[in-house]
Chain A
Amino acid sequence: MPMLPSEFSGLERYAGKWCLATENERWKARMSSGMEELQELYDAVLPLVPEAMAYCDKFPLDDMPEDAVNLLRLVYSFVMVSFAVELWAQTYPPDTRGTDFVRLSEPLP
């Protein structure tokens, strides 16, 4: 059973790992992945972000079908990994290993 809308079947292979509901989970996934994997996800999602957002925007935020919610979560994961890929060339911001900044709550989805 695909997790994403059929228009985005090209991203389906990233869905199992990266359609994550919370920032905590997305941060952990970024920290525990290699840069090659982050780069691959980034390269795959970047050109599709405008289409993905247009697709999700067809539904009210509080009544999105599950596959659209998964697509939105995948875009969130793209946002999360973009910092590693575009800025740091490593998973975490340089010189920040001694600290943490935990997101306690966020609007969902």
Chain B
Amino acid sequence: MARYPKPAEGSWTQHYPHLDTKPISFEDSTSREWYELEKEAIFKRSWLKVGRVEEVPKSGRYFTREIPAADTSIIVVRDGEDVRAFHNICRHRGNKLVWSDFPQEETAGTARQFTCKYHGWRYGLDGACTFVQQESEFFDLDKAEYGLVPVHCDTFAGFIFVNFADQPSQSLRDYLGPMLLGVEDYPFHEMTDRYAFKVECRANWKVFSDAFLEFYHAPVVHVGQHPRALRAMITAGGYEAPHYQLDGPHGVVTTAGSLHRSWEMPPENVKPADLATRSGLFGPWEQSDLGELPPGINPGKINPWGLSSFQFFPNFAILIWEAGWYNTHQYWPTSHNSLIFEGNVYSLPAKSASERVGREMAAVSFKEYSLQDANTLEATQMGIEAGVIHQWPLNDQEVLVRHFHHEAAQRVADYQREKG
């Protein structure tokens, strides 16, 4: 018996005509060759989130990002009012332009200009080549032709995106579409208390992302996060989302807030540490006052609302929680069966020590369940790589998983058609 109404077609999956209900293949997540195609078809031509504007607050502040899925490293820098991105490559002999101590690692800092560590060529914050060591030794060299190679860069709600296509087929806003644009007025820029996490994991980037596209697994993998008294009930109850929505390649799943309101529960059903710190898995109990929020964060108008998890194709997610905080996930493939997962938890700056303790409780909870996800997904990758089983059934609560693999495959098919 469904807890929440389904669309008139009978299911969320059938509501979207481009999706079928058959078992799917995960060969797209085990093949080296397929991953090479995805790099070209997806990562070298989609808008990719690479940071937030708070990371480059003043002119000259920069950070570098390694993006193996696009075979490159980039510099993101603020130049006056503009945020710019460049390939992190000196135009003279190809040395990586900006790095510190370890060439493979990312770095950040403040600069008036970038100077190559190899032969001293210099570049302005606008990418122009401003100095060539012993310029008169060169042959007809025009510095104006040797600026850094720019990468298309734009911002949305303070998130910095880049696109490696020579000419992106869509602007960032057109690419995001109305559903994601609906979160634009959320006060992301005020939520500067940040807890940042990272893990390298042996799973395909889509397999990893899949676990955050559905909460069907939550009452099983994560049931231990709840007090013992509730566990049997939570697992038996399973998971149903009151709302799914797709828009272009992107998607959102909303959960209801019934489990989130620990303060309304009998104390024996709440962890003693949650009672003591007035916080827990779903965030601090004292709701942050964020003012009026954009209706787009709860597109299904669910009440009580718990959270909405917005999936920005291909590899970024924003989860906005009722308690007034948000977290982000990002999945950066490093090979066909490995990735770097980055997680960030953001909230308004704590005004007191007790507020900070509440945020700490939420951040530690985030780690405890992310560890459970990450380890499980390595086990999943092993299972699908065995090559014994070729078809995998997905249920209606996994509609975003089905959609995600469909969209990724569609882009590869488009790319292959284009290349003939």
With A49-B276, A105-B195, A106-B195 known, 10 other A-B pairs at CB within 8 A are A46-B276, A49-B273, A61-B356, A72-B356, A96-B371, A96-B374, A96-B375, A99-B378, A101-B199, A107-B350
Whether B224 pairs with A86 at a CB distance below 8 angstroms is: no
A101 touches B370 (CB 8 A): yes
* A99 to B: closest C-beta gap in Å: 4
Contact status B371-A101, CB under 8 Å: yes
Residues 87-109 of A at the B interface (beta carbon under 8 Å) = 87-88, 92-107, 109
A20 at the interface (CB under 8 A from B): no
Query: Can you offer 17 A-B residue contacts whose CB atoms are under 8 A?
Result: A56-B353, A72-B353, A76-B357, A78-B273, A83-B364, A83-B365, A87-B271, A92-B371, A93-B371, A96-B374, A101-B197, A101-B199, A101-B371, A103-B197, A103-B367, A105-B195, A107-B193
Q: In the complex where A46-B273, A79-B273, A105-B194 touch, is A59 in contact with B372 (Cβ < 8 A)?
A: no
Q: Are B353 and A64 in contact (CB under 8 A)?
A: yes
B299 on interface, CB distance cutoff 8 Å: no
Is B104 engaged at the interface, CB distance under 8 Å to the other chain? no
Which 8 pairs from chain A and chain B are nearest by CB? A56-B353, A82-B273, A53-B354, A49-B276, A96-B371, A99-B374, A104-B196, A99-B375
Complex contact A102–B224 (CB within 8 A): no
Q: Which residues of A contact B225 (CB under 8 A)?
A: 87
Q: What are the residues of chain B within 8 A of A102 when measuring CB–CB? A: 197-199
| Structural contact, B276 and A50, CB atoms closer than 8 A | yes
The complex places the Cα of A54 from the Cα of B352 at a distance, in Å, of 10
Residues of A within 8 A of B (CB): 23, 46, 49-50, 53-54, 56-57, 59, 61, 64, 68, 72, 75-76, 78-80, 82-83, 86-88, 92-107, 109
B368 part of interface (Cβ distance < 8 Å): yes
Q: How far is the CA of A20 from the CA of B343 in the complex (A)?
A: 23
B368 to chain A, nearest CB (A): 5
Known: A46-B272, A106-B195, A107-B194. A93 touches B368 (CB 8 A): yes
Q: Which residues of B contact A101 (CB under 8 A)?
A: 197-199, 343, 367, 370-371, 374
Enumerate chain A residues within 8 angstroms of B276, measured Cβ to Cβ.
46, 49-50, 78
Indicate which residue in B195, B224, B271 contacts A82 across the interface (CB closer than 8 Å). B271
| A79-B193 contact in complex given A46-B276, A101-B367, C-beta closer than 8 Å | no
User: CB distance A87 to B357 under 8 Å?
Assistant: no
* A-chain residues with CB within 8 Å of residue B378 when the two chains form the complex: 98-99
Question: Quick check: B224 and A93 within 8 Å, CB to CB?
Answer: yes
Q: How far is the CA of A76 from the CA of B201 in the complex (A)?
A: 27
Contacts of B210 in A (CB 8 A): none
- Taking the closest CB of chain A, its distance from the CB of B16, in whole angstroms, is 33
Considering the chains assembled together, what is the distance between the CA atoms of A106 and B271 in angstroms?
24
CB atoms of A95 and B376 under 8 A apart: yes
**Nearest Cβ in chain A — how far from B30, in angstroms?**
19
What residues on B are CB-neighbors of A88 within 8 Å? 224
Which chain B residues lie closer than 8 Å to A94 at the CB level? 224
Q: Decide: A97 and B272 in contact? CB cutoff 8 A.
A: no
B153 within 8 Å of A by Cβ? Answer: no
B199 CB to nearest chain A CB (Å)? 5
Interface residue? B360 (CB, 8 A): yes
Chain B neighbourhood of A59, CB < 8 A: 353
- Asked if B351 is an interface residue, CB under 8 A from chain A, the answer is yes
Please state if A103 and B363 are interface contacts (CB–CB under 8 Å): yes
Q: Which residue of B lies closest to A69 (CB)?
A: B353
**For residues 367 through 388 of chain B, which have their beta carbon under 8 Å from a beta carbon of chain A?**
367-368, 370-372, 374-376, 378
Asked if B235 is at the interface (CB within 8 A of a chain A CB), the reply is: no
Residues on B with C-beta less than 8 A from A95 are 372, 375-376
- A106 in complex: contacting residue of B272, B351, B352, B363, CB < 8 Å: B363
Q: B residues within 8 A CB of A46?
A: 272-273, 276
Cα A107 to Cα B368 in complex, Å, equals 19
Let me know if B277 is at the binding interface, CB within 8 A. yes
Q: For residue B337, give the distance in angstroms from its CB to the closest CB of chain A.
A: 14
> Which of A49, A79, A104, A109 has the most C-beta atoms of chain B within 10 angstroms of its own C-beta?
A79
